[in-house]
Structure 1
Amino acid sequence: MKGYCKKLLASFLVIVFMISIFSTISFSQEQSNTIFSDLPQNHWAYNAVKFMVERGIITGYPDNTFRPDNPVTRAEFARIMVISLNLPIKVTDNLSFKDVPKDHWAYPYIETAKYYLTGFRTQNGDYFKPSDYAVREDMAVALVKAKGLQNENIDMNILNNYIDKDQISKNLVKYVAIAIAKGIMVGSPVPNSNQYKFEPQGILTRAQAAVLLYNVINNQSTEEKVTYDDNSSSGSNQQNTYPVPNVTAYTKGDKVVLIWNRINDRKLKGYAVVISKNNSQPGYPQDGYLTILSDRNANYIEIGVNSKYNGGDFGVYVKNGEEYYFSVTAIYEGNVYVKGNAVKMRMPVIPNYFEKPSVKYEYKDNKFVLSWQPINDSRFVGYWVVISKKSKEPKYPNNGYLVFVNDKNTTQIVIDNTIPYKGGDFGEYLKDGEEYYFSVTAQYQDRLIPGNSIKAIYYSNLEIAKLRPKLQAKTVRWWGQSCINIKWDKIDNDKLQGYRVVVSDKNPSPDFNKDGLLAAISDRNITSINVKAKDKYLINGEYKELKKGHYYYFTVYAIYSDRIVGGNVIKVKIP
């Protein structure tokens, strides 16, 4: 009987995991048997996707696509881990990561998932890089630890069958080996050989996630009860001994009012107000939050149209005339969350309500795509696409515009630097590898309504971006002299032939042909150079010296057999 329960629990966790990883996709029985227009039968992930679709576990997007190449971010994967495996939420007053503040939508998930995922340690502290894309070796660590297999003794020679084993981060090698040995992750065969490729640094896509989960399902014999280390708590994080909020609601003018009982408990820290479009029993943190009230005596809140929400299943704003499930979660000491009952209410219909665009971005076919929801309003005229380098909440006309879209049915645009920007703070064109704020302003007959802003690193072509050297610089001592160490990431590409270090004292975008050649490097394994005063560089057939105390712009060009790709630019002062 115990063995049966154990297998049942393992199967349940896997299915929940699958449901969670595709939580951003619409769930509907009507679409469960559709054939996706962008996933032909000869696609390498077709059988895995078909397996889960036939069981009603996942569906595609409303336009009947699956979008197999869409990436998954590290923050999204952290949330998936926590919710799918029902991990006890672990947050503290001390932030673990410099780039994940408490008001970040994924903060509780990242704090919890840090015991299963990887971070980045620097001299300035630890970073999580929540907006970076999840990579395959991170997935291996997460699943191995979540399944309690990290202490398994396996033959490390299993990695000899993989041509890219040296690309695995040294601290993660054992986890990858365990994942392979247990059939959790396999990799892809190398044509015309008996070897495989694991792609440890490969960005995790929806198709890869589908195949990975398919492999987990088909390796049920390796399922073991999930155990947690000393950083995790045992059992449920919702105890029967804690008072539960009793929530009621009513409509007051243009607002929904929530009321709940005051809880007199010394362990109570506050309340989280929770809203969901699809979950009839929403709770914090898995369903996000509208606001967190630290006042222990609070028992009342008014919620209006366009209230901003964090980490929900319905976008950024609460909408006019839409139905939602409302609830309150009591937050107790020791990171215990006790959710109250939910009430279903419709937001009041307000005649003078003007819908805001809900903006998001993705890389589709390696292109940067900005998208938003359609606005169905007789007063609506069109959309202004707005970008800014400095303004965190860009809007038209204050921050100029890229293009005006007067087709109400057009809800996305590919930003590929073919259209010059008008009236911006960064010039006419975006620069690859730099960060910008993107938004959309809705044009109505008598007013302008700006949407939310998203912050993103822009690449006109994500595939080419992977070929770009990523530079950083610091001052070091070398042979008793201060100098600048310029370093870039190692690029593993068969077509790479070498690098060229280019310098300019005036041009903020040093040109491969016109500006100074500091070094030509033919050894692909060399990824750094020390630069000091009086070093010579060649420009216009003459040699010039770098001057002490002067600022210069440096970049590195990667030379491939079929192209030349420049890296980011750094400005440094010669010591």
Structure 2
Amino acid sequence: MKYSKRNNLILLFTTISLLVSSLFYGLTANAAIIMKFSDLNKQHPAYSSVLYVTSMDYMNVYKNAAFKPKKAVTKADAAKFVGKANDISSEVKLASHISFEDVSHKTSNYSYIIALTSIDAFDHGSKFYPQNTITRQEAAKLIVNAFNLPIKTGKEYVDVTKHNSYKDYISTAASYNILKGNSSKKFLPEKKMNRADFAIALKKALDAKDELDESMAEEIDSMPDSSDSDIDETEDDD
């Protein structure tokens, strides 16, 4: 009997040890994958942003821990990245009035595309062109409207005319330091974005949204409590 109890205790202890070891190893292995990319070192300007957006599963990592920083970001990919970062569920109820000739239920990231178009984060024309590489001006509109950032005008660029329909989104994205122009006062609105560029913009958008939320929370906290107001609650005599 004693021998049986002793064996049971040993078995229980061994099982717990194995579970703890497996958990620790799993966490260590995942951390190693997250912390080290096969094609991106810590000196890369996008490294910290890539580290964050991949660890949060907003953007994917390929086989062999490759991030592929120079790979183009399609509009369909951008929809997924922003949709996940902005907590827009892929199971969201779709707006019935949104449709494109080149987008169907079989299209990659279909739900994200439709959901984001319904809030004007993407232009709604006859076609969406899901495999086209997203441009900086398209990314500006996508991010500003998806994260519901207040419009800020005033940022001017020599290559963004007053007739550019993305003008206010470009100014807003630049004001929040999400997408900025260069030293020549050019925004390069038609420039196509790669994964490193997009990771940086996405991380900055998340930071901007957090700052706005914190500012709003502080403003609400600073508002006077109605219960503290000096109100005469004496009843009138009959």
**What displacement does 1:73 show?**
1.3
Contact 1:119 1:127 in 2 (8 A): no
> Which residue pairs with 1:86 in the alignment?
87
**What displacement does 1:102 show?**
3.9
Q: 2:123 aligns with which of 119, 122, 125?
A: 119
Tell me: CA distance 1:223–1:136, structure 2 relative to 1, closer, same or farther (3 Å).
Answer: farther
Contact 1:89 1:109 in 2 (8 A): no
For 1:393-542, list aligned pairs within 5 A. none
1:201 and 2:205 aligned: no
**What displacement does 1:41 show?**
4.7
Deviations 1:326-347 (A, max 9, x none): xxxxxxxxxxxxxxxxxxxxxx
Q: 2:32 aligns with which of 30, 38, 52?
A: 30
Gaps of 5+ in 1: 1-26, 226-575
Tell me: CA distance 1:57–1:109, structure 2 relative to 1, closer, same or farther (3 Å).
Answer: closer
Contact 2:79 2:113 in 1 (8 A): yes
> Which residue pairs with 2:175 in the alignment?
181
> Which residue pairs with 1:170 in the alignment?
164
* Greater percentage in helix: 2
Calculate the aligned-residue CA RMSD, in Å. 3.3
Q: Distance in 2 between matches of 1:110 and 1:56?
A: 23
**What displacement does 1:91 show?**
3.4
Contact 1:45 1:207 in 2 (8 A): yes
| Aligned sequence identity (%) | 24
Larger Rg computed on CA atoms: 1
For 1:299-448, list aligned pairs within 5 A. none
Q: Distance in 1 between matches of 2:70 and 2:55?
A: 21
Q: Which amino acid aligns with 1:118?
A: F
Deviations 1:158-191 (A, max 9, x none): 21xx34324x97111111111111223224x33x
**What displacement does 1:217 show?**
4.5
Tell me: CA distance 1:103–1:89, structure 2 relative to 1, closer, same or farther (3 Å).
Answer: same
Q: Which has the higher contact order (CA 8 A, sep 6+)?
A: 2
> Which residue pairs with 2:141 in the alignment?
141
Q: Which amino acid aligns with 2:196?
A: A
Q: Which amino acid aligns with 1:28?
A: N
Deviations 1:103-128 (A, max 9, x none): 4343333221113333364xxxx111
**What displacement does 1:207 show?**
0.3
> Which residue pairs with 1:215 in the alignment?
204
**What displacement does 1:136 show?**
1.7
| Number of corresponding residues | 180
Deviations 1:480-528 (A, max 9, x none): xxxxxxxxxxxxxxxxxxxxxxxxxxxxxxxxxxxxxxxxxxxxxxxxx
Provide the TM-score with structure 1 as the length reference: 0.28
Contact 2:116 2:146 in 1 (8 A): no
Tell me: CA distance 1:109–1:214, structure 2 relative to 1, closer, same or farther (3 Å).
Answer: closer
**What displacement does 1:204 show?**
2.1
Q: Distance in 2 between matches of 1:143 and 1:215?
A: 10
Q: Which amino acid aligns with 2:120?
A: Y
Gaps of 5+ in 2: 1-28, 216-238
Q: Distance in 1 between matches of 2:112 and 2:172?
A: 25
Q: Which amino acid aligns with 2:159?
A: D
1:76 and 2:77 aligned: yes
**What displacement does 1:101 show?**
2.9
Contact 1:95 1:101 in 2 (8 A): no
Tell me: CA distance 1:96–1:169, structure 2 relative to 1, closer, same or farther (3 Å).
Answer: farther
Give the secondary-structure state (helix, strand or coil) at the position aligned to 1:174.
helix
Give the secondary-structure state (helix, strand or coil) at the position aligned to 1:183.
coil
| Runs of at least 4 residues off by over 4 Å | none
